[in-house]
Structure 1
Amino acid sequence: MGHSACGCPGSMARVIERTETNESAPTAKAASELRQWPVQLHLVPPTAPWFQDSDILIAADCVAFALGSFHSDLLKGKALAIACPKLDDTAPYVEKLANIFRSNEVKSITIAIMEVPCCRGLDMMVRQALTLSGKEIELTTAVIGINGERRS
């Protein structure tokens, strides 16, 4: 298949085939692991109390929809900031993230992105911000496939 009109292969329309299962629905709803509001990177204040002494998850917007176990696998116990490197105005993101890292004692940073090329921009911004902050903080990247599987 060719590229979409915008040129990004990650924007290419596709159908994700799912096999229906006969398993009965769970009797309990999964609990939300969200610990703060707001979550959008443009809106979170760099000195928000939830960033102090925290593990931070910086996730691309689509990750929570693609990864069915997002709350239990990635979000649990972490402060959250979400962003879309393709559609957001990302100009202020590197400096804002650097301010978050500088202003708080951050234990670790997890970056969660989709496997599509445009999502790599978020990983690059966070790494740039960490360098700019002058701090050494444990950093890992989780890559999620379009089909919802964790690639790394």
Structure 2
Amino acid sequence: MLRKIVHIDEDKCNGCGLCIPNCAEGAIQIIDGKAKLLSDNLCDGLGACLGNCPVDAIKVIEREGDAFDEEAVEMHLKSLKEQPSSTKNTIPQNMGGCPGSRMMMMDAVEEEKNTPAVKSQLRQWPVQMHLVPPNAPYFKNSDLLITADCVPVAYGNYHQDLLKGKSVVMGCPKLDDVSAYIEKFVDMIQSNDFNSITIAFMEVPCCMGMIRALEQAMDIAGKSVPVHRMKITIDGQMVEM
């Protein structure tokens, strides 16, 4: 039958896996480092996975395909739950799949002696995206820092170079529902007159979801705020984009 169904462009797909948690039917899996639709009858064609792809590799098209089968979905989800944990992820942990979860080790840094303790520049609490109230008083007329969870761990001078003098929210677009981020950003932008927004993100592809969420939120909110993009490499370097 002719119907709407998800199409994944494997040439664009980077294997980040952001689409998988948003597919309630479990119709998408990472196979050989690429997201793949397992079966036509598992896809409802509604495209819940679309907005979380950082490289625009997913779209809904109209083509011939098997009808959506709710019973098949139930059986598929049941089989996924019954799988031994060792077989749920067929990608070796140290290669393939999302670059953001690929294992690696860096050389140890020589200990610096007689270095004074660095003071925290945090001026508020809470900081997690899901916990901060969008109309919190510390956001009013502030310079906002949006930071991916891994950034403070990867970048040694985080407090002085990024956090100092700013309000902050943090989260992980790979592990969280990005649509909730968009809603929170819209509320924050509409409720506050930010002087500027700095977004600090890791170089891994899945972190681009944070930038996309902010861009969509600014379009929805209809307000223009200067945005500075700071990319942090896994080895702890900062690059302004």
Same fold at TM > 0.5: yes
User: What stretches of structure 1 of length at least 5 have no aligned partner?
Assistant: none
Provide the residue aligned with 1:12 in structure 2.
102
Point out which structure has higher relative CO (alpha carbons under 8 A, 6+ apart): 1
Q: For this pair of structures, how many residues does the alignment match?
A: 149
Provide the residue aligned with 2:117 in structure 1.
29
Whole-angstrom distance in 1 between the partners of 2:118 and 2:109: 22
* Offset at residue 148 of structure 1 (A): 0.3
Instruction: Please point out which of 114, 120, 143 is paired with 2:202.
Output: 114
Change (3 A) 1:83 1:19: closer
**Secondary structure in 2 aligned to 1:125?**
helix
**Secondary structure in 1 aligned to 2:134?**
coil
Deviating above 4 A after TM superposition, structure 1's stretches of 4 or more consecutive aligned residues are 2-6
1:18 partner amino acid: A
**Counterpart contact for 2:178–2:209, Cα < 8 Å:** no
User: Which is further off, 87-96 or 43-52?
Assistant: 87-96
Whole-angstrom distance in 2 between the partners of 1:148 and 1:35: 24
User: What stretches of structure 2 of length at least 5 have no aligned partner?
Assistant: 1-31, 34-90
**Counterpart contact for 2:179–2:213, Cα < 8 Å:** no
Deviations 1:50-74 (A, max 9, x none): 1100000000000000000000000
**Secondary structure in 2 aligned to 1:91?**
helix
5 Å matches for 1:84-123? 84-123=172-211
* Offset at residue 41 of structure 1 (A): 0.5
Instruction: Please point out which of 213, 227, 231 is paired with 1:139.
Output: 227
**Secondary structure in 2 aligned to 1:92?**
helix
Deviations 1:77-102 (A, max 9, x none): 00000010001232211011011011
Give TM-score, length-normalised by structure 1: 0.92
